[in-house]
Amino acid sequence: MTSADTVTTLQRIANLLRIDSIEATQASNSGHPTSCSSMAEIVSVLFFDVMHYDPKDPRNPAADRFVLSKGHCAPILYAAWAQAGAFPVADLKNLRKIDSDLEGHPTPRLNFIDVATGSLGQGLGFASGMAYAGKYFDKSDYRVYCVLGDGECSEGSVWESFAFASFYKLDNLCAIIDINRLGQSDPTPLQHDLETYRKRVDAFGWHPIIVNGQDVSQLLAAFKEASETKDKPTCILAKTFKGSGLKGIENELDWHGKPLGDKADELVANLRKLVNEESLVRPAIKKIVAKVPEIKKDKEIKLSTPPNYDGKKEIATRLAHDGDTKNSTYSIKFHDAFPKRFVECYIAEQNMVQVAIGIATRQRYTAFVHTFAAFLLRAADQIRMGAISFTRVKYVGSHAGVSIGEDGPSQMALEDFAFFRTVPHIVCFYPSDAVSAERAVELAANYDGAVYIRTSRPNFPILYKNDEVFQIGKAKIIVESSNDVCTIVGGGVTLHEAVKASEKLKAQGKAIRVIDAFTVKPIDRETILKSANATHNRIIVVEDHYLEGGLGEAVMAALADQADIKIIHLAVQEVARSGKSAELLSKYGIDAEHIVNAVEKLL
């Protein structure tokens, strides 16, 4: 089928990509040329024979996708796109410069990158999300390719993704493991034991194909076999050599992550002979043939029906936003045509987040991720990388704080805001009743960026009218009078405790102001400052979160440049334990009684 000419051409292009990788890393005086070299044939075959895409329209939704899980090999990926015509080859020498988007590891600042990689073991999950969207949402024929390093196969997240992709029969997904045997400082645990890789991949339900990864013909045959394999994803196990094609360096330790220095010139000269660029005729890039459904853009997403509570029944915010009620996360009309909107990811939070980030690429689908807030932390590094991908994924964490009660500390998120607040440009919602929870979901769906929504286990009274209007960064004053002695800022369960405290204090003739922060990031500096100024510059922040990094420090940070304001902070200060919700709120000093005491101490 494949002509000898094609094979020769692809081999020459592989060497051209090696040269580009060496020269770029020489220019930046850092980077990973040897890890690039082992995958040169894989990249050449994929970009110049296998994949259907348009170098001038790299985010075309019908194009095949490529994810470089081993992100440190960015130079050869950039080289492939440059040689394919996406941008001038000469730009490759701007690698890692501050004014170039050709960063040390790929990020979507480049229009041909969908997801940031560089934290290992994440690419296959992103690719699985893309493949899931392709097969089940887009119902399209585009394919998804993902190159992994062998070292990163030690990451459990990789095996979560292997299990996920086979469970959902993602036969539009093809992983290639560049098994070059050598890690950063040591050989990898399996070195060149291809048979063990085959057994693992097979046991996880994939179709494994072992090839010599430096052999263009074998790679071409393997990609063909992959495209013809039904109901299973394919994993090509490519036996390669680190520094392949670089004499004196190939298959040697101590060449990880460094440019070739004074060896570069001679090695490049040798490779140039093999390439013979003057006579090289690059094959035409395969045209995009897949179709994808059109998605109407710029439509405001609205709740299918507005909140409708009679105010008599107490409702948990975890329920108000959840799939069990008609105005659920999932029943909101994100888009007109969602054939199947719920993706069960089982107990594998890292992959869940990766899949969501993958699904949300190319701005087509809005993905909500939902688990216990405590367990979202399992995917902290994925969420961190999601920020570098500028993802628009919405994270929903339930069962926050000690107020969950008897299940005990392992199930209580007490550090979620500390982590989520660090995500640049994220919005962190903390709804305190069912109405605001529904509106948080609505605002989240419309926000052009990542979102975190913290929900709670206990049932709360309804605080707001069904038609109350909420905005990102706008707090609500729940209780106020003209002679308030201080301001309490709360969220979730502690807001309700603050309301109770205000009632107790009122009975003693003391008035306090109570503020529902609603969003912890951005925090409503203006309302809180004005309120503080109106209440003797006294603020008490009370939260069902550890002392550090939550609502309390958000308020402190907002007012740090203000002299004169005194802030008292009530929060959980030790490892919590099992007990009834009310007992725990009392034990950890964040219930109405402790708020009353704090107010009295302030006066």
Active site residues: 349
Q: What is the CA radius of gyration of the chain?
A: 28
Task: State which of positions 303-332 bind its own copies (CB under 8 A).
Answer: none
Cβ proximity to its own copies: between 184 and 471 the closer is 184
Q: Is 375 in the site for its own copies (CB under 8 A)?
A: yes
Which of 54, 225, 314, 381 is the binder for its own copies (CB under 8 A)?
A: 381
Q: Is 163 in the site for its own copies (CB under 8 A)?
A: yes
Q: Is 117 in the site for its own copies (CB under 8 A)?
A: yes
Which of 7, 387, 477, 511 is the binder for its own copies (CB under 8 A)?
A: 387
What is the rounded (10 degree) CA torsion for 191, 195, 196, 197?
80
Report d(CA 66, CA 46) in Å as an integer. 9
Residues in contact with 412: Cβ distance below 8 Å, sequence separation at least 6, in sequence order: 374, 399, 400, 401, 402, 404, 576
Report the nearest approach of its own copies to the CB of residue 551 (Å).
12
Q: What are phi and psi of 214, to 5 degrees?
A: -100, 5
Which of 58, 61, 71, 129 is the binder for its own copies (CB under 8 A)?
A: 71
Q: CA–CA distance from 79 to each of 17, 54, 88, 93, 223 (Å)?
A: 6, 15, 10, 10, 21
Which of 23, 114, 138, 155 is the binder for its own copies (CB under 8 A)?
A: 155
Q: Is 546 in the site for its own copies (CB under 8 A)?
A: yes
Q: Which stretch binds its own copies (CB under 8 A): 83-91, 116-124, 139-147, 457-465?
A: 116-124
Q: Is 265 in the site for its own copies (CB under 8 A)?
A: no
Q: Which stretch binds its own copies (CB under 8 A): 59-67, 115-123, 171-179, 220-228?
A: 115-123
CA neighbours closer than 13 Å in the CB half-sphere of residue 444: 34
First to last CA, the chain: 87
Report the nearest approach of its own copies to the CB of residue 378 (Å).
4
Q: Is 577 in the site for its own copies (CB under 8 A)?
A: yes
Q: How many residues bind its own copies (CB under 8 A)?
A: 106
Which of 217, 251, 587, 593 is the binder for its own copies (CB under 8 A)?
A: 587
Q: CA–CA distance from 388 to each of 6, 315, 446 (Å)?
A: 38, 36, 20
Which of 167, 212, 481, 503 is the binder for its own copies (CB under 8 A)?
A: 167
Report the nearest approach of its own copies to the CB of residue 155 (Å).
6
> Which DSSP symbol is given to 39?
T
Q: What DSSP element (H or E) covers 376?
A: helix 373-376
Q: Which residues of 433-464 are buried (b: 16+ CB within 10 A; e: fewer)?
A: bbbbbbbbbbbbbebebbbbbbbbbbebebbb
Cβ proximity to its own copies: between 148 and 288 the closer is 148
Task: State which of positions 270-309 bind its own copies (CB under 8 A).
Answer: none
Q: Is 490 in the site for its own copies (CB under 8 A)?
A: no
Task: State which of positions 236-255 bind its own copies (CB under 8 A).
Answer: none
Q: CA–CA distance from 401 to each of 415, 417, 539, 544 (Å)?
A: 9, 11, 22, 5
Report d(CA 491, CA 401) in Å as an integer. 11
Spatial contact of 489 and 520, defined as CB atoms under 8 Å apart: no
> Which DSSP symbol is given to 214?
T
Report the nearest approach of its own copies to the CB of residue 8 (Å).
36
Report the nearest approach of its own copies to the CB of residue 336 (Å).
28
Report d(CA 65, CA 479) in Å as an integer. 53
Task: State which of positions 505-534 bind its own copies (CB under 8 A).
Answer: 521
Give me the 15-54 binding string for its own copies, x by CB under 8 A, dash otherwise.
-------------x-xx-----------------------
Tokens of 225: 């076999």
Tokens of 114: 């969908």
Report the nearest approach of its own copies to the CB of residue 364 (Å).
22
Which of 93, 419, 461, 522 is the binder for its own copies (CB under 8 A)?
A: 419
Q: CA–CA distance from 566 to each of 32, 127, 487, 505, 539 (Å)?
A: 52, 50, 11, 20, 6
Cβ proximity to its own copies: between 158 and 268 the closer is 158
Report the nearest approach of its own copies to the CB of residue 237 (Å).
13
Report d(CA 192, CA 362) in Å as an integer. 36
**Collapsed DSSP state (helix, strand, coil) of residue 397:** strand
Q: The dihedral of CA 300, 302, 304, 305: what is its sign?
A: negative
Which of 140, 390, 446, 525 is the binder for its own copies (CB under 8 A)?
A: 390
Residue 281: Cβ-neighbour burial (10 angstroms; 0-12, 13-18, 19+): exposed
Q: Is 154 in the site for its own copies (CB under 8 A)?
A: yes
E-state strands within 172-222: 173-179, 207-212
Give me the 188-207 binding string for its own copies, x by CB under 8 A, dash otherwise.
xx------x--xx-xxxx--
Which of 52, 93, 109, 263 is the binder for its own copies (CB under 8 A)?
A: 109
Give one word for 127, left, alpha or beta, with left for phi > 0 and alpha for psi -120 to 50: alpha
Q: Is 552 in the site for its own copies (CB under 8 A)?
A: yes
Q: Which stretch binds its own copies (CB under 8 A): 44-52, 261-269, 489-497, 556-564?
A: 556-564
Q: Is 600 in the site for its own copies (CB under 8 A)?
A: no
Q: Is 97 in the site for its own copies (CB under 8 A)?
A: yes
Q: CA–CA distance from 474 to each of 71, 79, 463, 518 (Å)?
A: 39, 47, 16, 7
Q: Which stretch binds its own copies (CB under 8 A): 171-179, 461-469, 492-500, 567-575?
A: 567-575
Cβ proximity to its own copies: between 89 and 380 the closer is 380
Cβ proximity to its own copies: between 183 and 307 the closer is 183
Cβ proximity to its own copies: between 188 and 234 the closer is 188
